[in-house]
């Protein structure tokens, strides 16, 4: 039996979000870790993503919906999943 492909996961170390009034948009940057032993203060700097207001609203709704699903299933992070 073959194993399903594993998706590479990069834990988020910090999040930067803010409005760009001159572009009528929101910027989002997710700094991330590439390995379990990488210190949070040495995170890789993420790219700056530009979201339209509609995209930002959709992202916010999807994040809240996903969070609600986790909470409804009683998800508890194990110590190795926390940074």
Position 77 scores a pLDDT of 60
Position 33 scores a pLDDT of 97
Q: How far apart are CA 56 and CA 26, in angstroms?
A: 7
Report if residue 79 sits inside a domain: no
Q: Please count the structural domains in the chain.
A: 1
What tokens does 7 get? 């998706």
Range of 25's domain?
12-73
Report if residue 78 sits inside a domain: no
Q: How far apart are CA 6 and CA 16, in angstroms?
A: 28
Q: DSSP label at 36? A: T
Report if residue 53 sits inside a domain: yes
What tokens does 50 get? 């530009």
Report if residue 30 sits inside a domain: yes
Report if residue 83 sits inside a domain: no
- Each of the 83 residues of the chain gets a pLDDT tens digit; together they read 456 688 899 999 999 999 999 999 999 999 999 998 999 999 999 999 999 999 999 999 999 999 999 999 975 665 555 55
Q: How far apart are CA 53 and CA 55, in angstroms?
A: 6
Query: Bridge partners of 25?
Result: 20
**pTM for this structure?**
0.76
| 45 φ/ψ angles, rounded to the nearest 5 degrees | -75, 125
């Amino acid at each position: 039996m073959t194993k399903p492909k594993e998706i590479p996961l990069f834990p988020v170390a910090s999040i930067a979000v803010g409005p760009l009034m001159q572009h009528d948009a929101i910027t989002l940057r997710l700094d991330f870790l590439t390995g379990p032993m990488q210190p949070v203060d040495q995170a890789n700097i993420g790219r700056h993503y530009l979201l339209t207001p509609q995209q930002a609203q959709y992202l916010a709704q999807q994040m809240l919906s996903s969070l609600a699903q986790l909470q409804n299933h009683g998800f508890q992070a194990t110590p190795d999943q926390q940074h």
